[in-house]
């Protein structure tokens, strides 16, 4: 799975790791920190991979499974979101820089 989305896997695994709430107060704070710490060209690759994942995913459960396999421990339902909506919002924020 990481072979299909290597940069997205690095982002999710490194920033939404098991203890991510110890590092940041919210999921959006994680995204903002990532934006500060990574070069824009690499951020745009993550945006592209999110778009690819959203196109390929057959269902919400498929998205959840893929996001978890890529290393994320963020449960989007706790914030009242779907994985599709959350990934789209992350992509939009990353694309805006």
DSSP 59: S
Q: Which two tokens stand for residue 74?
A: 């963020």
Per-residue model confidence as pLDDT tens digits over 9-33: 999 999 999 999 999 999 999 999 9
Residue-averaged pLDDT of the chain: 95
Model pTM score = 0.94
C-alpha to C-alpha distance for 74 and 79, rounded to whole angstroms:
10
Measured CA to CA, the distance from residue 80 to residue 61 in angstroms comes to: 15
């Amino acid at each position: 799975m990481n072979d299909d989305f290597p940069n997205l896997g690095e982002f999710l695994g490194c920033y939404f790791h098991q203890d991510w709430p110890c590092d940041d107060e919210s999921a959006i704070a994680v995204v903002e920190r990532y934006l500060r710490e990574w070069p824009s060209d690499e951020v745009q690759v993550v945006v592209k991979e999110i778009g690819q994942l959203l196109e390929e995913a057959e269902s919400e459960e498929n998205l959840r499974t893929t996001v978890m396999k890529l290393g994320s421990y963020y449960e989007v339902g706790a914030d009242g979101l779907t994985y599709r909506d959350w990934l789209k919002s992350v992509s939009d924020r990353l694309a805006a820089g």
